[in-house]
């Protein structure tokens, strides 16, 4: 079929990796909620009282005001990078490398915990004012630093993808959408932002701002330092320019082109997937507490069993496939959120309305009542 001919191996790799990142990031987020509940329960038992307002300070919840102004802030950042990238590329590169190091260490942490569990206790090692860390945390951070250094030296696209994966998972795990109203505000604003900067920015700035910023390489910090410190013509001059890990890229089977997907097109729908996964878990616990009370009478039992997470994840896949086919048909970059937002939000809103959950999901923050059910069926 024509649709199949418009999707090559690089697009298939992008589909699979982006879906795996969203699923993994969502479940890391849910697991963090369970761990925080356990810690709060232990702290309340030790103190003899429960403080229901205690939260993890590392988790950022987006409210309505932030959702409205985030596309504006993203537009300002895009313009700064478009006009002043040559002046601030060193700052951009260093900040990106630091963030990518921390995010990739977070991505590697479960694997390092599994590897270090048999041979070392989970006691934390003190490093003075730097804090206390477990052996798994030190191992994951060391591996992350090593990978970033190799990426700086080689500039290989596969290492850049690994760092971008870490950024995606960390952002999905540490950022929360509290309600469906905030989700709709955020994704609708970012849809307008994406469409404007991809389709209409060329009429104002004589260039596609989004594409230029996403594909513009930065000078290697080693090359810059060697020139600033006058280390000689052969020191640090053979390192490649770096493409910053703000996207996933995969080469085609022929090597003639790369398939590219911005991490915002993974993270923003991923936050919605994370929200509905937490709501599915909340609803499952509520139903178990009410001894399995049936849903509305006009909804079939089969539809009641379909989770919001499955519905939204399928919508994400269909939207990503549609965006890819559209880009190949028009032979031009497409704003992925133009396809991802309708294919994820509209089925979710429809299903929530039919199941009778729309009002609660729209405006009411929800919290798991207990951590007795740590695993959600998928």
Over the stretch 216-254, which tens digit does the pLDDT of each residue have?
Answer: 888 777 777 777 776 665 555 567 888 888 888 888 766
- Residue 255's pLDDT is 60
Angle of helix 264-289 relative to helix 308-330, nearest 10 degrees?
Answer: 160
SS (H, E, C) 174-206: HEECCCHHHHHHHHHHHHHHHHHHHHHHHHHHC
pLDDT higher than threshold 80 for residue 363: yes
pLDDT higher than threshold 50 for residue 53: no
- Residue 8's pLDDT is 63
pLDDT higher than threshold 50 for residue 370: no
Top-confidence residue, 303 or 181: 181
Alpha helices in the chain, H assignment, sequence order: 2-5, 9-47, 64-116, 135-154, 157-174, 180-195, 201-205, 209-215, 221-228, 264-289, 301-305, 308-330, 337-355, 358-363
- Residue 220's pLDDT is 77
**Per the residue annotation, which of 86, 194, 219, 238 is the catalytic one?**
194
pLDDT higher than threshold 70 for residue 90: yes
pLDDT higher than threshold 60 for residue 5: no
Confidence of residue 2 (pLDDT cuts 50, 70, 90): very low
- Residue 290's pLDDT is 62
- The answer to whether residues 21 and 169 touch, using CB atoms and an 8 Å cutoff, is yes
Structure tokens belonging to residue 341:
């937002």
Average pLDDT value for residue range 118-127: 72
Highest mean pLDDT among 10-14, 90-94, 339-343: 339-343
Output the pTM of the full model. Answer: 0.86
Residues with Cβ < 8 Å from 78, sequence gap 6 or more?
197, 209, 210, 213
The verdict on whether 238 is a catalytic residue reads: no
Average pLDDT value for residue range 317-330: 88
**Per the residue annotation, which of 8, 161, 265, 280 is the catalytic one?**
265
Q: How far apart are CA 252 and CA 185, in angstroms?
A: 36
Which residue do the tokens 């206390």 mark?
132
Mean residue pLDDT of the chain comes to: 81
The verdict on whether 265 is a catalytic residue reads: yes
Average pLDDT value for residue range 292-312: 68
pLDDT higher than threshold 90 for residue 114: no
- Residue 122's pLDDT is 65
- Residue 231's pLDDT is 66
pLDDT higher than threshold 50 for residue 136: yes
């Amino acid at each position: 079929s024509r649709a199949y001919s418009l999707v090559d191996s690089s697009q298939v790799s992008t589909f699979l990796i982006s879906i795996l990142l969203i699923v993994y990031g969502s479940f890391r987020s849910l697991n963090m909620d369970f761990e925080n509940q356990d810690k709060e329960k232990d702290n309340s038992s030790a103190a003899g009282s429960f403080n229901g307002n205690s939260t993890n300070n590392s988790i950022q919840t987006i409210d309505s005001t932030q959702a409205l102004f985030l596309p504006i802030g993203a537009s300002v950042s895009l313009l700064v990078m478009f006009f002043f990238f040559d002046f601030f590329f060193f700052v951009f590169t260093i900040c990106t490398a630091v963030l990518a190091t921390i995010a990739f260490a977070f991505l590697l942490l479960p694997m390092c915990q599994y590897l270090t569990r048999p041979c070392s206790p989970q006691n934390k090692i003190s490093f003075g004012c730097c804090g206390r860390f477990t052996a798994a945390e030190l191992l994951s951070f060391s591996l992350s630093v090593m990978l970033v250094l190799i990426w700086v030296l080689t500039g290989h696209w596969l290492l850049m993808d690994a760092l971008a994966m870490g950024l995606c998972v960390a952002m999905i795990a540490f950022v929360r959408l509290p309600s469906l109203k905030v989700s709709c505000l955020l994704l609708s604003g970012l849809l307008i932002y994406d469409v404007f900067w991809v389709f209409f920015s060329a009429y104002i700035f004589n260039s596609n701002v989004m594409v230029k910023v996403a594909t513009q390489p930065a000078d290697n910090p080693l090359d810059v330092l060697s020139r600033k410190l006058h280390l000689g013509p052969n020191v640090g001059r053979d390192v490649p320019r770096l493409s910053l890990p703000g996207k996933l890229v995969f080469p085609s089977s022929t090597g003639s082109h790369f398939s590219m997907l911005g991490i915002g097109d993974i993270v923003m729908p991923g936050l919605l997937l994370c929200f509905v996964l937490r709501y599915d878990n909340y609803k499952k616990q509520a139903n178990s507490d009410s001894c399995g009370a049936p849903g509305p009478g006009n909804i079939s039992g089969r539809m009641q069993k379909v989770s919001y997470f499955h519905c939204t994840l399928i919508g994400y896949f269909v939207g990503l496939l549609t965006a890819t086919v559209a880009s190949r048909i028009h032979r031009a970059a497409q704003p992925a959120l133009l396809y991802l937002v309708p294919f994820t939000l509209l089925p979710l809103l429809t299903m929530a309305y039919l199941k009778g959950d729309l009002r609660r999901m729209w405006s009411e923050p929800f919290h798991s009542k207990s951590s007795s059910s740590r695993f959600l069926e998928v």
